[in-house]
Structure 1
Amino acid sequence: MTRTTPPRPVDPAAAFPELAALARTATRLHPRTGAPTVHDSSVGGPLLWPADEPWPVCGDGHEVFGLTTVEDVRTRRRILTEAWARPRAPRANLLTPEEQAVIDRVQAGYEPSSLPAGPLPLLAVAQFYARDVPDLPCPEGTDLLQVLWCPFNEVMELSSAVRLRWRRSADVGEVLTRPPVPAFVGSDDYVPERCVLHPERVREYPPAHELDGELAKAVHSWAVDRGLSYRGDLSTAPGWKVGGWPHPWTFLDPPEPAELRCGACGGPVEALLTIEGREYDGESRSWFPLEDASAEPAPFITADSATMVEIGRGYTLQVYRCAATPDHPPLTFMQ
């Protein structure tokens, strides 16, 4: 099924012609629970990874506040999804005694001392084929982007926790069928649920921090006079997306120009991938896809949060790439 973003309530470029020259396209990914293969664009799915290529690892230290495993995360999600889906009598327990015992064990977690010393395999986050994602800026000779990360709180703080791998899919012969998995993860928020994508191209305008100060004030006031939010309704698309404008800054001020540079060469960077747990919130409800408006409500894994990924307390992880040399390590910010 396709996903269709409703038309914007108004077009700010009609009132502010200077915005028209700043418009960009982005590809909303609309991840939804599914069973992707290595040949599909996906979030949380298997990667088209060569069998003879080493799997990347993280050798950084980790701040450990709690530990779980990928298997335990998926077990808990499966049990709760099945429990919410079945009918039950009024005031009856959601879980059977056997299910409750499993959930209790999973939620107890593991002691921080259980974390083994040495590098940990990274966790596959997503892969995107150029044929599916029009705004994927593939370096010459490549048509596939793979994203991995170290599933600990360092995702929110360290660019080194996220890795990008560009490749030419036709060059992959034998595929790695059993990639290594980290022995533990720091939180279930960093274990993406297996999702297929429903890419859709949309038009965006710059977030307020990218506009001249006077123009930003004028656009904001103009939107408020119409009962709208420039940030939530008219500027950048929420949820997972490729390309377009970067996500607005929320709890932090935008970095100084010197900070928003490639760590390898000091050159300019551009927004590549936006990772946001939900497709919309109270401010960006107008972006919710038309096809999901009539979907049956799901009490556990919902359409707007199908990946089950959450950055911080509902923030966004913005991944930037070096504009001059895409192979350079990415730059990331929690925004």
Structure 2
Amino acid sequence: MSRTTPPRPFDVTALFPRLAPLARTATRLHPRPGSPSVHDSSVGGPLLWPADEPWPHCDEPHEGHGASAGPSPAQVRLLRRHRAAMEDRRRRDPEGPWATPEELSTDDRLQAGRPWPEGPTAMLPVAQLYARDVPQLRTLGPPGADLLQVLWCPFDHPAAPRPGLFWRSAAEVTDVLGAPPEPSAIQFSDYLPDPCLCAPEQVAEYPNPLELSKELREQLGDWTRWQAAAGSAVDSSYEAAPEEFYLNHLSVSPGWKVGGWSNWGLTDPVPRRCPRCDTGMDPLLTIASTEWDGAGGSWAPIEDRAGDIPPLPQANPPANFTRVVLAGGYGMQFHICPACPDHPYIDLIQ
């Protein structure tokens, strides 16, 4: 499997030369449904976790504690299989019936939820990335580490799942944990990723307009400048706000990725300083609710445009292959200290 981002509409540095030194490499992960093993870079797949290392649990209070929580991970997977079967029947026979009585009865029972878990909660695997697939990890992570593993508690803390990042050397894991524990319930099914294989691809990114100088932002808003240099490459619908064209098509790539620039949308940029040494922190990993949307559709890979794309349930956001949805459609971004990757990371919802 491979995914190829189409070329950008034009070279933005030719129009705005001061952007050239701000270019950064991002690795788009392009997660797509599959059957990953512990030896694959994946989202929602099994982890190369040492058998003699305790599985991470969350022992902190959860927001929204109530009489019942959501279904268990196994129940979410069953519900998704039912939804997939219903969608397949709908495509083959739009007149229905799309669901069997047994599916409807089971779904009603499972959606009633389970008792709120007591005690520590087993964390869920979210992502596993090998440096052989994402070479940036060798410079972002601790010396000798070639594997990044991300898990989270599937309950809000306070408005998103609480994550945990783990670096390790894959060669040192000789005995793999075969059956990791799972939580008895999860707060929202959107916090359980579907197993996906990754197809990493490197692209060039430029800063979100909010991180540019005032002078550059003013230049981005000059429609006559765009017309003179870019011509028909810029959609005329952006005449009132050409900086939006830059934002949507030329700056920060959407979707799951490593490195690059931070995306902003929920808030304006906030300082990302290491809480231990006050060094400016670098973007590590972005977990996204969608691989692209209507405004940023030009980032859709060529292969997906050609139809090489798995069908998605109708309830999902556009291009949501992992089933992860955070904060109503935003993403979680991790930043780490370049001076010492062992210092505490920062996670932001944007």
CA contact (8 A) 1:163 1:329 kept: no
CA contact (8 A) 1:67 1:185 kept: yes
Residue 231 of structure 2 is matched in structure 1 by none
3-state SS in 1 of match to 2:20: helix
Distance 1:67 1:51, change over 3 A: same
How far is 1:306 from its partner? 0.9
Residue 122 of structure 2 is matched in structure 1 by 121
Unaligned runs of 5+ in 1: none
1:247-326 correspondence to structure 2 within 5 Å: 247=263, 249-255=264-270, 257=271, 260-295=272-307, 298-300=311-313, 304-326=319-341
Q: Which moved more, 1:228-237 or 1:142-151?
A: 228-237
In the alignment, the residues of structure 2 paired with residue 152 and residue 105 of structure 1 have an alpha-carbon distance, to the nearest angstrom, of: 21
CA contact (8 A) 1:162 1:330 kept: no
Unaligned runs of 5+ in 2: 228-233, 239-244
Residue 21 of structure 1 is matched in structure 2 by 21
Counterpart selection for 1:233 from 237, 249, 253: 249
Q: How many residues are treated as equivalent by the alignment?
A: 326
Percent identity of paired positions between Structure 1 and Structure 2:
49
How far is 1:297 from its partner? 6.6
3-state SS in 2 of match to 1:254: coil
Residue 164 of structure 1 is matched in structure 2 by 165
Normalising by structure 2, report the TM-score.
Answer: 0.88
For residues 80-110 of structure 1, the C-alpha deviation after alignment (integer angstroms, 9 at most, x for no partner) is: 1122224654432211011111111222223
How far is 1:267 from its partner? 2.9
For residues 105-163 of structure 1, the C-alpha deviation after alignment (integer angstroms, 9 at most, x for no partner) is: 222223xxx223222111110100000013222321111000011112227458xx211
For residues 166-208 of structure 1, the C-alpha deviation after alignment (integer angstroms, 9 at most, x for no partner) is: 1000000110011111111110111000000111110101111
Q: Which moved more, 1:191-200 or 1:322-331?
A: 322-331
1:46-65 correspondence to structure 2 within 5 Å: 46-64=46-64
For residues 209-236 of structure 1, the C-alpha deviation after alignment (integer angstroms, 9 at most, x for no partner) is: 2210220232244597622611110001
Distance 1:274 1:156, change over 3 A: farther
Aligned CA RMSD, in angstroms, stands at 2.0
Normalising by structure 1, report the TM-score.
Answer: 0.91
Distance 1:101 1:157, change over 3 A: closer
Distance 1:56 1:241, change over 3 A: same
In the alignment, the residues of structure 1 paired with residue 97 and residue 274 of structure 2 have an alpha-carbon distance, to the nearest angstrom, of: 53
In the alignment, the residues of structure 1 paired with residue 207 and residue 57 of structure 2 have an alpha-carbon distance, to the nearest angstrom, of: 36
CA contact (8 A) 2:70 2:189 kept: no
